Amino acid sequence: MNVLLVAEESAGVQVLRGLKRSSHRIVTVLTQPPTRGGGATVASVARTLDVPVLPSAAVRDPELAGFIAHHRVDVLLNVHSLFLVNPEVVGAPRIGSFNLHPGPLPEYAGLNAPSWAIYHGERSHAVTVHWMDPEIDAGQIAYEAPFDISEDDTGLSVSAKCVRHGLPLVERLLEVAIADPAAIPRLPQDISRRQYFRRGEIPDGGRIVWSRSARRLVDLVRACDYFPFPSPWREPLARLGERELAVLKASRTRKPSDARPGTVRRAEGDAVAVATGDEWILVHRVRLNGRPVPAAEVLDPGDRLADGA
């Protein structure tokens, strides 16, 4: 099986390594150039494995379709690459082009599906392999793997679950493609249920609005949490006087509050209690003046946090 891999991030690295261990031939990898520091990238791993590399932006060029035909590519795999693939390129592989998407479709099309699922209070999520077509994340579904989301999950942990459950789907796709390409499922999406999340979309613009419910605020903090990696939603912001403050860790108490939202009171340990629109929440860790610190070091009883600007 001749595979062209378009890939980024940890998921791309793991798919690349899995393909290299298999009997499949990796024609080339399309990815971003390696960056300094930050661990292994798809580009750095590809070079270590002696796999040819092309710039990921090449997927936008219709001439890549000729390259695919010349090298008799059977399957194009898109794994966490955000470049829009040219329609001629999508249609060029002998069997088809497929995308590994970190969310259930059609409900979580677009970007940052793990974060949106947490923010919406979902208790389950899924990772999907679908046929690619010209509309983003709208192609027929080949395989899907559901899994649970716990109240302790973060954006990073749900993303990691998507990778863990998604890799076996890619393996299954390639196994079926070798045995009988016609047996690869083609389940149409119910477009009436489609939600599409765009680049730069963040609830409340990434601001803490203290009059929101405790569940909503804590879920926003969890959804933004990709520590130790940068968050695609940034860190949710509030204000302490004239200073900007990011809330890094928070949890619910389920204790009703009738105090003014944003009011701080004492709590045990390094956390402080802050009033929301319906409950007290515990704020465990914040970032102030660029430094992450326990909340109790910088917030005193009687302080009032304002909404992020």
Instruction: Report the alpha-carbon distance of residue 75 to residue 156 in Å, rounded.
Output: 29
What was the pLDDT predicted at 88?
96
Q: What are the CA-CA distances from residue 299 to residues 1, 3, 134, 219, 239 (Å)? A: 59, 55, 51, 21, 11
Instruction: Identify the CATH number of the domain in which residue 295 sits.
Output: 3.10.25.10
**Whether residue 168 sits in one domain with residue 193:** yes
pLDDT tens per residue, range 67-100: 999 999 999 999 999 899 999 999 999 999 999 9
- What is the pLDDT averaged over residues 126-155? 96
What pTM, to 2 d.p., does this model score? 0.94
What was the pLDDT predicted at 36?
64
Measured over the CA atoms of residue 77, residue 80, residue 81 and residue 87, the dihedral's sign is positive
Q: Which two tokens stand for residue 296?
A: 């109790």
Q: What angle do CA 223, 234, 266 make, to 5 degrees?
A: 70
pLDDT tens per residue, range 115-129: 999 999 999 999 999
Question: Domain count of the chain?
Answer: 2
**Whether residue 38 sits in one domain with residue 89:** yes
**Whether residue 223 sits in one domain with residue 189:** no
**Whether residue 273 sits in one domain with residue 128:** no
**Whether residue 228 sits in one domain with residue 83:** no
Long-range contacts, stretch 254-257, CB < 8 angstroms, 24+ apart: 254/214, 254/279, 255/279, 255/280, 256/280
Alpha carbon distance, N-terminus to C-terminus of the chain: 53
- What is the pLDDT averaged over residues 194-199? 94
Mean pLDDT of the chain: 95
Structural domain for 10, as ranges: 2-197
What was the pLDDT predicted at 134?
86
pLDDT tens per residue, range 98-119: 999 999 999 999 999 999 999 9
**Whether residue 64 sits in one domain with residue 155:** yes
**Whether residue 172 sits in one domain with residue 48:** yes
**Whether residue 162 sits in one domain with residue 224:** no
pLDDT tens per residue, range 16-73: 999 999 999 999 999 998 766 567 899 999 999 999 999 999 999 999 999 999 999 9
Q: What percent of the chain has pLDDT over 70?
A: 99
pLDDT tens per residue, range 262-304: 999 988 899 999 999 999 999 999 999 999 999 999 999 999 9
